[in-house]
């Protein structure tokens, strides 16, 4: 009997009628003969509301208690969904992350899944039940504390659980039809991508596409679990994320991200060790640095620029300031009005002109590029935040709509 792991996001379980709608779909799938495990997110904006509430109660940071609080969101959805599925005449049972054997490291708020001991899930399946598991949470076997996996973490729960159970597919149900060639709110002509490789999806997610949490794609890739991203509102197929695809377009999609800030340390002495003295303390504080550009000028001093997620700027800025002082740099500039546009596609490997074409498209639109970074299948540019939408439209026109025009 095929085994499917389905994940329903916050919008899909946003109110009682939507929960009943999900219950009908799950029951139908079960009756068709599949074994079904369901991972749920918290209803609607519950997680945001709980975070807000915690801030109203206390302005201190309480990582352990925050995890206790936030995991309640998924616990509400799992119990309600189990009730609704049973009303459909199908046996169902809900489990918290810890009951489902999701074992994590000890870190609160950003825990990583270390192992899954899914025997209670397997028992439930064996007994013919639909098993519902609360997403986004686990337990540390070292501290016995409840942990959360970071925002959007239910995706990771779903793909990891699918891997642990050797499921045939992991279906991620969401409020959009799949993964798009660009954000349809910016590019009305953006189209759904039928198939995309794990590798491309990973780059796409890290470039700002929010439909799938990056870490879940890593699990999919590592354990080769095909992921089907699809709408919870209809039955049309969505986007398959898998190891290889039939087509290898040069550019699969255009991603963007406006929650980026750029930091420049000016006039850094050009001596061994300065980069290490800047980026080591940032890494220790968990600041994910994305692009790094260093330029040696004729006077033997360098400027080092890098980007950080906007929400980590308050952590990064004082570290950069302190380091700049310590190493005798000339000064520090911070720009939070920047964004990133990226093009992603496996076919880029075989086509050298792609980056050049991207730069020409931006130049023709009068858009200045502040920083560039590349991987073998991605090119990203940092530009003014106010020009991101225009850049996305132009790049989509050039690479997707006009079918892969590439400079010779």
Residue numbers of the site for ligand ASP (CB under 6 A)? 9-10, 41-42, 47, 73, 135-136, 151-155
Q: Enumerate residues 6+ apart whose C-beta is below 8 A from 234.
A: none
Q: How far is the CB of 119 from ligand ASP (least distance, A)?
A: 24
Residue with smaller CB distance to ligand ASP, 152 or 267: 152
For the chain, the C-alpha Rg in angstroms (whole number) is 23
Residue with smaller CB distance to ligand ASP, 70 or 265: 70
Cα→Cα distances 134→30, 77, 106, 186, Å: 19, 8, 19, 33
216 binds, among ligand ASP, Mg ion, none (CB under 5 to 8 A by kind): none
Name the one range near Mg ion by CB under 5 A: 9-17, 80-88, 172-180, 216-224: 9-17
Q: How far is the CB of 45 from Mg ion (least distance, A)?
A: 8
399 binds, among Mg ion, ligand ASP, none (CB under 5 to 8 A by kind): none
Site string for Mg ion, 24-63 (x = CB under 5 A): -----------------x----------------------
In which residue are the tokens 């990582």 written?
A: 63
253 binds, among ligand ASP, Mg ion, none (CB under 5 to 8 A by kind): none
| Token digits of residue 167 | 């499921």
Angle between helices 214-223 and 198-206 (to 10 degrees): 160
Q: How far is the CB of 132 from Mg ion (least distance, A)?
A: 16
Q: How far is the CB of 160 from Mg ion (least distance, A)?
A: 17
Q: How far is the CB of 150 from ligand ASP (least distance, A)?
A: 8
Residue with smaller CB distance to ligand ASP, 136 or 306: 136
Cα→Cα distances 96→68, 326, 400, Å: 12, 48, 43
Which residue number has the CB closest to Mg ion? 10
Dump strand ranges (E) for 270-329: 292-296, 301-309
Q: Could you say which of 5, 7, 10, 197 contacts Mg ion (CB under 5 A)?
A: 10
Residue with smaller CB distance to ligand ASP, 15 or 142: 15
| Token digits of residue 14 | 């946003």
For Mg ion, how many residues bind (rule: CB under 5 A)? 2
Residue with smaller CB distance to Mg ion, 309 or 353: 309
252 binds, among Mg ion, ligand ASP, none (CB under 5 to 8 A by kind): none
Residue with smaller CB distance to ligand ASP, 13 or 23: 13
Cα→Cα distances 45→15, 51, 78, 216, 261, Å: 11, 10, 16, 21, 26
Cα→Cα distances 152→9, 42, 104, 164, 167, Å: 9, 10, 16, 20, 21
CB burial of residue 57 (10 Å; 0-12, 13-18, 19+): exposed
Q: How far is the CB of 48 from ligand ASP (least distance, A)?
A: 7
Q: What is the DSSP letter of 401?
A: I
Q: How far apart are CA 274 and CA 118, in angstroms?
A: 47
Q: Enumerate residues 6+ apart whose C-beta is below 8 A from 253.
A: 179, 180, 181, 182, 193, 196, 200, 204, 209, 343, 344, 345, 400
Angle between helices 154-164 and 214-223 (to 10 degrees): 10
Q: How far apart are CA 122 and CA 126, in angstroms?
A: 6
Q: How far apart are CA 131 and CA 101, in angstroms?
A: 13
208 binds, among Mg ion, ligand ASP, none (CB under 5 to 8 A by kind): none
Q: How far is the CB of 70 from ligand ASP (least distance, A)?
A: 7
Site string for Mg ion, 172-191 (x = CB under 5 A): --------------------
Residue with smaller CB distance to Mg ion, 40 or 102: 40
Residue with smaller CB distance to Mg ion, 10 or 101: 10
Q: How far is the CB of 158 from ligand ASP (least distance, A)?
A: 9
Q: List contacts with Mg ion (CB under 5 A).
A: 10, 41
């Amino acid at each position: 009997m095929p085994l499917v792991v389905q994940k329903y996001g916050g919008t899909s379980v946003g109110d009682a009628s939507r929960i009943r709608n999900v219950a009908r779909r799950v029951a139908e799938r079960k009756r068709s003969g599949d074994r079904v495990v369901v991972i749920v997110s918290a209803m609607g904006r519950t997680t945001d509301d709980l975070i807000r509430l915690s801030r109203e109660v206390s302005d201190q940071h309480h990582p352990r208690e925050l995890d206790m609080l936030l995991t309640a969101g998924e616990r509400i959805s799992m119990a309600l969904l189990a009730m609704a599925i049973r009303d459909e005449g199908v046996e169902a049972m809900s489990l918290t992350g810890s009951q489902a054997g999701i074992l994590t490291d000890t870190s609160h708020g950003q825990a990583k899944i270390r192992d899954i001991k899914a025997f209670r899930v397997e028992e439930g399946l064996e007994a013919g039940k639909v098993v519902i598991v609360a997403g986004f949470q686990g337990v540390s076997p070292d501290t016995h504390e409840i942990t959360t996996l970071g925002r959007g973490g239910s995706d990771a729960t779903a793909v990891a659980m699918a891997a642990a159970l050797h499921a045939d597919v992991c279906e991620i149900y969401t409020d959009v039809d799949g993964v798009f060639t660009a954000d349809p709110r910016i590019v009305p002509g953006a189209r759904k991508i039928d198939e995309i490789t794990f590798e491309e999806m990973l780059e796409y997610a890290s470039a700002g596409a929010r439909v799938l949490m990056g870490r879940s794609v890593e699990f999919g890739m590592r354990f080769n679990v095909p992921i089907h991203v699809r709408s919870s509102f209809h039955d049309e197929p969505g986007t398959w994320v898998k190891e290889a695809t039939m087509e290898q377009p040069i550019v699969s999609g255009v991603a963007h991200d406006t929650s980026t800030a750029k930091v420049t340390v000016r006039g850094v002495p050009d001596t061994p060790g300065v980069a290490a003295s800047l980026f080591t303390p940032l890494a220790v504080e968990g600041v994910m640095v994305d692009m790094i550009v260093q330029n040696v000028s004729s006077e033997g001093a360098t400027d080092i620029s890098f980007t950080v997620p906007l929400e980590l700027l308050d952590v990064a800025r004082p570290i950069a300031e302190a380091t700049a002082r310590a190493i005798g740099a000339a000064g520090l500039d911070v720009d939070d009005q920047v964004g990133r546009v990226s093009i992603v596609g496996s076919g880029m490997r075989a086509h050298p002109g792609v980056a050049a074409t991207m730069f020409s498209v931006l130049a023709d639109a009068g858009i200045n590029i502040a920083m560039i970074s590349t991987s073998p299948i991605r090119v990203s540019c940092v530009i003014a935040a106010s020009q991101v939408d225009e850049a996305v439209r132009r790049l989509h026109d050039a690479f997707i709509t006009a079918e892969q025009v590439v400079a010779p």
